[in-house]
Chains A and B, each alone.
Chain A
Amino acid sequence: MDEFNDNEITKLLRLKKYEQPPPGYFDNFLHEFHRRQRNELLRQPLWRICIDRTRDFVLSFNLGTLTSYPVAVTAVLMCAAILTLRIYQTPQPAAVASNDRPVLAVPANVEEEWTLASPVATRVFSTRSLRNMTESAQTHRKGTPPRYVLDSVPVSYETTFKF
């Protein structure tokens, strides 16, 4: 990290320590806080006030740990459900690489050809399936070189002047 820049930013930002609210703001804050609390209490429905009072009453007997029991029970039930599902789930054969996917979106008039544009020649394929993933994984480990990337055309073009 550039120590000089770090200190520079810190020193500049010291200005922000001196940004202060209007005089008397902090003195008045507590009064405002009380006022809002009273307003909120008055706006609450009666059933809500009853629940809060009951909860406060219960908690005052230091029975707070009881609240954790429902959570614990729920967690145990969820774990049991997950384990049950796993035990009884029949293993599926790996379907990932079994599809032969044809190459998509090839223009109809494309022929198999080498362009003369550059030594990094591009080759245009007609529609046919490529190797699937499992094959790739296996055959490449047998010494087939990877595809060395350098595009000969941009990955995208702007087609209109919209902004």
Chain B
Amino acid sequence: MDEARKDEDQRLVARTQEGDAGAFDDLVVKYTPRLYGLVYNMTSNHEDTNDLLQDIFAKAYKAIRGFRGKSSFYTWIHSIAVNMTLNFLKKRGRRYSLSLDDVDASIQNDKEFLEATASSSPVREADLSELQKRLNEAMMKLSDEHRAVVTMFHIQGMPHAEISKILNVSEGTVRSRLFYANRQLQNYLDEFRKNPVS
């Protein structure tokens, strides 16, 4: 995480602790897109994500006076977000419904994604929305904890060290969970390929 961002966060936190609510607003605006991605990819439900984000920032606002800067604000707010989402998922249990956001069209400019999907020997035809659905279903088949590390590492691009700080586990545990999760995702996607369901 870059130093400039860290410094800015520190300033905004200090101002919030002094009573400047506008400073906290700046932190909300800054972190909402990122935390939205984290929570949405763990829940695959837009409405749940919205509710959770409101609760996360509400909790952060209440707790920020006690924030002593032992970790960065970035790590701190991500920890709150992950823990609240995990608790929510535990309560939600297995009865969930996907409520997926649209895939932005700029994906067609994503070279890496296109590389992964370029092929000269198609197995079956499918559209992007079906791929999106399959990926989300595969993600939801993972345990909540494994989905969290996949989201943070593969989707949000966080390094192992940062994830281990957020989850308060060792880097070895993060790697181990990623290994299991990758295998599971591989199997689930294979399964869908072998048994396409209309």
Contact = CB atoms under 8 A, between A and B. Distances in A.
Given A13-B150, A14-B112, A20-B104, A5 B132 contact: no
The residue in A16, A17, A21, A29 that gathers the most chain B C-beta atoms within 10 A of its C-beta is A16
A40 B57 CA distance: 13
A21 B101 contact: yes
Contact of A12 (B41, B49, B103, B116): B116
A37 B58 contact: yes
Interface residues of B, number: 46
A1 B104 contact: no
Binding site secondary structure of chain A: helix
Interface string B137-164: 0010000000000100011000000000
A94 interface: no
A36 B50 CA distance: 12
Interface string A23-61: 000100110110011001000000000000000100110
Contact of B103 (A11, A15, A33): A15
A151 interface: no
Given A30-B29, A40-B58, A11 B155 contact: no
Contacts of B115: 11
Among all A-B residue pairs, the 8 with the closest Cβ atoms: A11-B116, A19-B101, A18-B107, A14-B113, A13-B154, A18-B104, A20-B104, A18-B103
13 contacts: A1-B182, A8-B116, A9-B154, A12-B113, A15-B107, A15-B131, A16-B136, A18-B104, A19-B101, A19-B102, A21-B101, A29-B53, A30-B28
Interface of B: 19, 25, 28-29, 32-33, 36-37, 40-41, 46, 49-50, 53-54, 57-58, 61, 65-66, 100-104, 106-107, 110, 112-113, 115-116, 128, 131-132, 135-136, 139, 150, 154-155, 179, 182, 185-186, 189
